[in-house]
């Protein structure tokens, strides 16, 4: 099947192609360029407006749930609904993210993810699992259930990775806690990304973890030791350790515009990744929903526990992109890096994801002039058309 997406501005790794086109054959990008050079021999044409923008589909490496479902439900339906829902906000790939819970519940969720990965499903592609907790700090538990927080354990991780059939790609942990450094080293040696989060580590402890193989920082600024002029903490260490990539929840609730701008100017677009950290209440009406056995109330776009603690978000990736684009200093290429390319490179899937290039999956999002999602293509299949994001 030969499909042609034509018109609009194509955002590539090297720049912008105004009034461009993308040729898709059997789910892959086989050609792109200026519209004047468009190939005519196609089966289906998608005509766009000149003001539309075509980007690689977004990659969300930290998402718990959406549309009434959650990774921890441990059901095929939950992951299927998430996969079918996420393209509405331009997301074409994701990591199903767990929460701190009991061994039994985490194992069930991981086994389900492994089972789901072998099924035929439509929509966004599940690239693996992000294990958030339970190897974290009580001092920065956030919305993670404190009763299930435990010391790092290589043995337990190996058990979970076996249950997931190798699908765990990222682990959020506090390296300063018992056995934390050993687990960081083990993960790095076994092609799993260690990410510091829910951590009270000092600057020196983070730097030590970097030497052991630490790669990411989970939701920068949130649930971590903040910066102080006599102890730079986790935030300062992320700023100054050039090898670290930082997730950020840009909903203007978890982190203000000014703090995101500070991170953006300090880290640059090469070291930041937009995430949602969304929970099951996303795409639903305001009300009360479950997160890890805890009641979370959504009101005014904020998801909070009864004690007021932020508990995930209802953020859409398209909204995070829109917020980032409001910065005068940001470009479409910067947005593309932070919403797609950086995550793909870090996960080692940039041979087929993360940018518009010949031979890669035709994962595309079409944004209108107001940066609302107009169309999304997952592996060449158009999955929605109306403005959704």
Lowest mean pLDDT among 36-50, 105-119, 123-137: 36-50
Confidence of residue 388 (pLDDT cuts 50, 70, 90): very low
Whether residue 88 has pLDDT greater than 80: yes
Nearest to 47 by CA among 389, 382, 355: 382
Q: What is the pLDDT of residue 385?
A: 52
Nearest to 186 by CA among 218, 167, 158, 164: 158
**Residue 26 burial class via C-beta count within 10 angstroms: exposed 0-12, middle 13-18, buried 19 and up:** exposed
Torsion angle defined by CA atoms of residues 73, 75, 80 and 83, in that order, rounded to the nearest 10 degrees: 40
- State the binding site for Zn(2+): 132, 198, 219
**Model pTM?**
0.96
Torsion angle defined by CA atoms of residues 380, 365, 345 and 59, in that order, rounded to the nearest 10 degrees: -100
Confidence of residue 312 (pLDDT cuts 50, 70, 90): confident
Portion of the chain with pLDDT greater than 90, in percent: 90
Q: Where are the domains of the chain?
A: 2-55+356-383, 57-347
Confidence of residue 387 (pLDDT cuts 50, 70, 90): very low
> What dotted CATH number matches 57-347?
3.20.20.140
> What dotted CATH number matches 2-55+356-383?
2.30.40.10
- State the binding site for substrate: 143, 222-223, 230, 254, 310-312
Confidence of residue 311 (pLDDT cuts 50, 70, 90): confident
Instruction: Report the C-alpha gap between 134 and 37 in whole angstroms.
Output: 53
Instruction: Report the C-alpha gap between 92 and 344 in whole angstroms.
Output: 12
Residue pair 309/323 in contact (Cβ under 8 Å)? The answer is no
Confidence of residue 266 (pLDDT cuts 50, 70, 90): very high
Distances (CA, A) of 201 to 129, 207, 238: 24, 10, 11
- State the binding site: 132, 143, 198, 219, 222-223, 230, 254, 310-312
Mean pLDDT score, 106-135: 98
Whether residue 220 has pLDDT greater than 90: yes
Mean pLDDT score, 227-246: 98
Q: What is the pLDDT of residues 313-324, one digit of tens each?
A: 999 999 999 999
Q: Which of 60, 70, 251, 277 is catalytic?
A: 277
Q: What is the pLDDT of residue 71?
A: 98
User: Which of the pair, 132 or 296, is modelled with greater confidence?
Assistant: 132
Mean pLDDT of the chain: 95
Is residue 277 part of the annotated active site? The answer reads: yes
Q: What is the pLDDT of residue 346?
A: 98
């Amino acid at each position: 099947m030969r499909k042609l997406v034509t018109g609009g501005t194509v955002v590539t790794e090297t720049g912008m192609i105004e009034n461009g086109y993308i040729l898709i054959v059997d789910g892959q990008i086989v050609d792109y360029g200026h519209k004047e050079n468009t190939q005519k021999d196609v089966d289906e044409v998608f005509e766009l407006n000149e003001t539309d923008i075509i980007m690689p589909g977004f990659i969300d490496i930290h998402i718990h749930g959406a549309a009434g479902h959650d990774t921890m439900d441990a059901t095929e339906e939950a992951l299927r609904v998430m996969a079918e829902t996420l393209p509405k906000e331009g997301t074409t790939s994701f990591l199903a993210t767990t929460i701190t819970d009991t061994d039994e519940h985490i194992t069930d969720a991981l086994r389900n993810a492994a089972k789901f990965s072998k099924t035929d499903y439509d929509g966004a592609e599940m690239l693996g699992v992000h294990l958030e907790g339970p190897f974290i700090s009580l001092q920065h538990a956030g919305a993670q259930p404190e009763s299930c927080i435990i010391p790092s354990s290589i043995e337990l991780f190996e058990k979970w990775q076996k249950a997931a059939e190798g699908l765990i790609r990222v682990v959020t942990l506090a390296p300063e806690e018992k056995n934390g450094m050993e687990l960081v080293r083990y993960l790095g040696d076994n092609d799993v990304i260690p990410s510091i989060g829910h951590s009270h580590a000092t600057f020196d402890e983070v730097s030590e973890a970097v030497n052991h193989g630490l790669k990411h920082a989970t939701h920068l600024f949130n649930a971590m030791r903040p910066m102080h002029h006599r102890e730079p903490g986790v935030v300062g260490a992320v700023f100054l350790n050039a090898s670290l990539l930082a997730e950020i929840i840009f909903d203007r609730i978890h982190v203000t515009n000014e703090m995101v701008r500070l991170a953006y100017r300090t880290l640059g677009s090469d070291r930041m990744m937009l995430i949602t950290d969304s929970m099951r209440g996303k795409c639903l009406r305001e009300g009360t929903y479950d997160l890890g056995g805890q009641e979370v109330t959504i009101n005014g776009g904020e998801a909070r526990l009864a004690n007021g603690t932020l508990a995930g978000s209802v953020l859409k990736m398209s909204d995070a992109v829109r917020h980032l684009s409001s910065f005068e200093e940001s470009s479409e290429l910067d947005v593309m890096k932070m919403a797609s390319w950086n995550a793909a490179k870090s996960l080692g899937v940039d041979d087929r994801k993360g940018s518009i290039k010949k031979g890669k999956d035709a994962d595309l999002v079409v944004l209108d002039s107001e940066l609302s999602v107009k169309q999304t293509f997952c592996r060449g299949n158009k999955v929605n058309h109306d403005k959704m994001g």
